[in-house]
Amino acid sequence: MWLKAQGKQRRSLLVGIMEEYLNAIKTSDPASEQHIRATFMAGITMAHEVGHVIFLHDFRSFNSPREPHVGDGCEAELGFSFICWIFSGFHPQNTPEDIMFKHTLSWEPQYTLSMKERPLYKTY
């Protein structure tokens, strides 16, 4: 942590957003569901990144290179945990191939260690 050794308390961060969101927003009819989905998911992505920024920009009290687990969540992913907190344990998902947001979204639960049934890859 050479910044900390220099007496810095925070690091500068740059957050980007995928071009697919901007393309879908620019090219779709503003009154269409596609436009609303793209705008919603762009907002979700920005809020998700805020979850990372809150943790990563300040290293005065916690000096770990990895993000921590939140509660009994299966994934150490603060952006994901932040979105799930906002939506009471769920996060919106679109189909990975649907870069123009033409198909409906789904809500996936945040898997926790206390859940009896969860996908095998959702573990510590």
Q: Is residue 67 part of a domain?
A: yes
Total domain count for the chain?
1
- Tell me if 9 is assigned to some domain: no
Query: Where do runs of H (alpha helix) occur along 6-121?
Result: 19-27, 33-56, 78-86
Q: What residue numbers bound the domain in which 102 lies?
A: 19-109
**Would 3 be classed as within a structural domain?**
no
| φ, ψ (nearest 5 deg) of residue 29 | -65, 125
Q: What is the reported pTM? A: 0.80
For residue 54, what pLDDT is reported?
Answer: 85
Reported confidence tier of residue 79, pLDDT bands at 50, 70, 90: very high
- Is residue 118 a part of any domain in this protein? no
- Domain assignment present for residue 85? The answer is yes
Q: What is the pLDDT of residues 26-75, one digit of tens each?
A: 999 999 999 999 999 999 999 999 988 888 877 665 666 678 888 888 88
CB 123 within 8 A of CB 74: yes
Q: Would 8 be classed as within a structural domain?
A: no
Confirm whether 10 is domain-assigned.
no
